[in-house]
């Protein structure tokens, strides 16, 4: 949990950039911003999913080391 702060900040930065890109590209058409939204969603999921997966793997390794 001690590294969770930078993950939240990185995720917030990504969504901030997505909002700025959408505001720049927005001319009333969803087609112009959908790629920014999809890209932001994918980046957010990779960061949060990667963090959760790494934490789960680390916990499993620690449990296996404790059993030996």
pLDDT at position 68 is 59
Going by pLDDT thresholds of 50, 70 and 90, the confidence category of residue 1 is: low
Residue spans of the domains in the chain: they are: 4-67
Going by pLDDT thresholds of 50, 70 and 90, the confidence category of residue 47 is: confident
* Sign (positive or negative) of CA dihedral 57, 59, 61, 67: negative
Lowest mean pLDDT among 2-6, 54-58, 61-65: 2-6
Distance, in Å, from the CA atom of 46 to the CA atom of 67, rounded to the nearest integer, reads 31
pLDDT in tens, 21-40: 877 777 667 676 778 778 88
């Amino acid at each position: 949990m001690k590294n969770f702060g930078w993950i939240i900040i990185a995720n917030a930065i990504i969504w901030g950039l997505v909002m700025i890109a959408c505001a720049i590209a927005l001319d009333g058409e969803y087609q112009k911003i959908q790629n920014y939204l999809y890209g932001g969603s994918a980046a957010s999921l990779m960061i949060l999913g990667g963090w959760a997966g790494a934490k789960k793997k680390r916990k499993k390794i620690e449990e296996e080391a404790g059993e030996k």
